[in-house]
């Protein structure tokens, strides 16, 4: 099909003669009206390498998945360490920061990883990520207080986020779109195994690994971090020798390369997320909602978000944004897939952290017992991801698969809201399974949908954007749940016992540590353990209900995606019809 732009390629000047202003703008209609010719030509030029033989492919992907496994393990290991860490460092009210310190760093660095690894190579990014991950994990294991532990989580999050995100870039570099769902399913299988093992591993370390070194006790929860370090070093060595993909955007000098990186956007994203979390976590928890600090934090978050959107949309300020707001905003499939990912991840991570808290606080399970009961979630994540990947490979379609998957996810979210003080032990194993299945399937479907709706040259930045939505979603989800939990718990404890002598100190202790819920703990006169447990249960139920609301939003967003052709070859030349946006995006340099 000739349309006057057949000579466009990756190397030709896309903005010549000021033609951008005369180009048709992408809209919902373009998803159906345009054809593929120039997009396929562009994608052929944009492919960095030929698809490797299966043996080499397995070797490369396996080296990546070592890091992915431990990055996933680190997202859940803290969930079952809440009780021992809070008892050791009196930090339960800082639960949100312990969890989100890691995830905020993910949010900030994952969007940058796409552009940085395009410039400096995937291998360099993977080695850098492993080094930061190892240093941060080591700091966590040696932390003398909660503040240093949070710092270690932030440093580890920089590396862990890169490991997960860059592994997906390499998958996109090496695997054709039609097969990518399957390979992404394998990656999510490893990720799910890491998530599942993280809870058990953390619990076993906390319960059984109390070792004296030079006469000093090294608590079990510290070993949950320290044992990871040698394996992370092995991961760095493997990727250095096995991953060798050409640089997409060679640079003439370091200065010119760094000027192409959107550090301003990353900074604004950090400010937006951090101030939002500060306001939500502090309001009604450590300070009243009317306190100037809480109000200021939320206002700064809103203003920095608006500034972020403006800057990322303005090519005169940021020629190469970390999150392509124009592409996401003009492409319905990408926007809806990102929002589905965002809300579903909020709900899933809320469950990952608060189901173990429910098991340990209400049902009095040990850390390892709580970790064991989260394993079905991780298994279901892997199974759901792999099943949807194979289904997409067989059918070449994903829309109705997404609808069915999100329905299962909603059922799982609703089941969590039925937990109570008398819930039988077996129900925990069963109820988290549909939640995990739906979440794993959603991850694979939304990623494939986004990539299918964008040209090849935008794959890394779109993938990074999807991980940014996922990271901010996990961070915000845990923070929302923590805010709901702490506000309800504080309110109900004050209603029940606020008038008793020394009530403030006791309430503060109950909010910061689970020790007061144990059978052998002596509460002050006039306090009832059963009533305190009821307050905890009400607070947990509020957190689970907020998760259900977020799951509903993710399901609604999924309905907005459109079907796109899933190509079976890396150069996307196998079909005569393809997604319409590819044609537009191949010709127009998005700003």
Of residues 130, 148, 129, the one with CA closest to residue 139 = 148
* Strand partners of residue 216: 213
Tokens encoding 531: 């009533």
Tokens encoding 276: 């939002």
The Cα-based distances of 452 to 57, 297, 321, 540 in angstroms read 22, 38, 20, 39
Q: Which helix (H) or strand (E) holds 216?
A: strand 216-218
pLDDT at 46: 47
- Alpha helices, H only, 498-587: 503-512, 529-558, 580-587
Distance CA 358, CA 516 (A): 15
- Judge contact between 43 and 452, C-beta under 8 A: no
Q: Does residue 302 carry a pLDDT above 60?
A: yes
Distance CA 480, CA 345 (A): 12
HSE toward the beta carbon, residue 100, CA cutoff 13 A: 28
57-61, 136-140, 552-556: which has the minimum mean pLDDT? 57-61
Tokens encoding 297: 């934090």
DSSP 287: B
Distance CA 226, CA 247 (A): 34
Q: Where are the domains of the chain?
A: 47-262+320-493+536-587, 263-319
Tokens encoding 227: 């044992």
DSSP 79: G
* Strand partners of residue 212: 217
More confident site: 162 or 34: 162
pLDDT bin (cut points 50, 70, 90) of residue 249 is low
Taking residues 16-20, report their average pLDDT: 36
Distance CA 383, CA 72 (A): 16
Q: Which helix (H) or strand (E) holds 213?
A: strand 211-213
Percent helix, strand, coil in the chain, to 5, is 75, 0, 25
pLDDT at 386: 85
Burial of 487 (0-12, 13-18, 19+ CB in 10 A): middle
* pTM score, whole prediction: 0.71
End-to-end CA separation in angstroms for the chain = 26
- Judge contact between 431 and 544, C-beta under 8 A: no
HSE toward the beta carbon, residue 275, CA cutoff 13 A: 19
Tokens encoding 504: 């403030």
Taking residues 472-501, report their average pLDDT: 87
Taking residues 8-16, report their average pLDDT: 35
Q: Does residue 232 carry a pLDDT above 80?
A: yes
Q: Does residue 147 carry a pLDDT above 90?
A: no
pLDDT at 252: 67
The answer to whether domain 47-262+320-493+536-587 has CATH 1.20.1250.20 is yes
The Cα-based distances of 64 to 18, 101, 265, 317, 528 in angstroms read 42, 24, 28, 35, 52
pLDDT of 176-231, one tens digit each? 766 777 787 788 788 878 877 887 888 888 888 877 777 677 788 889 899 999 99
State the virtual CA torsion across 433, 194, 354, 410 in degrees, nearest 10.
Answer: -30
Distance CA 577, CA 457 (A): 19
More confident site: 284 or 85: 85
Phi, psi of 298 (to 5 degrees): -70, -40
Specify the length of the chain in residues. 591
Distance CA 442, CA 177 (A): 17
Strands 216-218 and 211-213: antiparallel
| Per-residue three-class SS string for 416-476 | HCCCCCCCCHHHHHHHHHHHHHHHHHHHHHHHHHHHHCCCHHHHHHHHHHHHHHHHHHHHH
- Alpha helices, H only, 362-424: 367-372, 375-395, 399-416
SS3 category, 347? helix
């Amino acid at each position: 099909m000739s349309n006057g732009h057949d000579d466009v390629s990756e190397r030709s000047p896309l903005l010549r003669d000021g033609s951008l202003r005369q180009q048709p703008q992408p809209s919902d209609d373009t998803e159906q009206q345009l054809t593929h010719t120039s997009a396929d030509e562009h994608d052929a030029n944009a492919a960095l390498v030929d698809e490797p033989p299966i043996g080499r492919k397995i070797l490369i992907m396996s080296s990546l998945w070592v890091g992915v496994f431990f990055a996933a393990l680190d997202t859940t290991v803290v969930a079952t360490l809440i009780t021992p860490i809070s008892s050791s460092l009196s930090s339960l009210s800082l639960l949100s920061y312990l969890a989100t310190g890691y995830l905020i760093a993910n949010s900030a660095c994952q969007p940058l990883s796409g552009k940085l690894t395009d410039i400096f190579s995937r291998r360099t990014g993977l080695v850098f990520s492993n080094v930061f991950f190892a240093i941060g994990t080591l700091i966590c294991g040696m932390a003398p207080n909660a503040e240093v532990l949070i710092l270690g989580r932030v440093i580890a999050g920089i590396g862990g986020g890169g490991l997960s995100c860059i592994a997906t870039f390499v998958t996109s570099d090496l695997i054709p779109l039609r097969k990518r769902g399957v390979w992404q399913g394998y990656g999510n299988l490893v990720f799910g195994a890491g998530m599942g093992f993280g809870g058990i591993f953390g619990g076993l370390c906390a319960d059984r690994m109390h070792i004296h070194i030079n006469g000093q006790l090294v608590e079990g929860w510290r070993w949950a971090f320290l044992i990871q370090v040698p394996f992370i070093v092995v991961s760095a060595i493997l990727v250095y020798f096995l991953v060798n993909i050409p640089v997409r955007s060679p640079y003439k000098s370091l200065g010119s390369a760094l000027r192409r990186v959107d550090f301003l956007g990353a900074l604004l994203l950090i400010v937006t997320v951090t101030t939002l979390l500060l306001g939500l976590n502090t309001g009604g928890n450590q300070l009243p909602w009317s306190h100037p600090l809480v109000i200021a934090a939320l206002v700064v978050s809103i203003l920095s978000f608006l500034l972020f959107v403006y800057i990322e949309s303005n090519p005169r300020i940021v020629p190469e944004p970390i999150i392509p707001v124009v592409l996401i905003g003009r492409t319905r499939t990408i926007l809806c897939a990102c929002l589905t990912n965002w809300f579903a991840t909020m709900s899933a991570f809320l469950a990952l952290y608060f189901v173990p808290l429910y098991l340990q606080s209400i049902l009095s399970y040990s850390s390892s017992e709580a970790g064991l009961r989260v394993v079905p979630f991780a298994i279901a994540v892997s199974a759901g991801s792999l099943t949807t990947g194979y289904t997409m490979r067989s059918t070449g379609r994903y829309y109705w698969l997404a609808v069915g998957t999100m329905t299962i996810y909603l059922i799982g979210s609703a089941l969590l809201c039925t937990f109570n003080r008398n819930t039988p032990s077996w129900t925990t194993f069963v109820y988290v399974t549909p939640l995990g299945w739906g979440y794993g399937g959603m991850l694979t479907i939304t990623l494939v949908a986004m990539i299918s709706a964008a040209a090849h040259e935008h794959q890394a930045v779109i993938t990074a954007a999807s991980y940014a939505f996922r990271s901010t979603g996990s961070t915000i989800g845990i923070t929302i749940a923590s805010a709901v939990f702490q506000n309800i718990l504080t309110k109900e404890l004050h209603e029940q016992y606020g008038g008793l002598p020394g009530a403030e100190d006791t309430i503060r202790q109950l909010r910061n540590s689970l020790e007061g819920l144990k059978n052998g703990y002596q509460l002050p006169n006039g306090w009832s353990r059963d009533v305190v447990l009821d307050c905890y249960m009400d607070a947990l139920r509020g957190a689970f209900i907020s998760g259900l609301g977020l799951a509903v939003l993710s399901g609604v967003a999924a309905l907005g995606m459109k079907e796109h052709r899933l190509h079976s070859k890396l150069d996307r030349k196998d079909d005569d019809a393809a997604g319409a946006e590819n044609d537009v995006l191949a010709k127009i340099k998005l700003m």
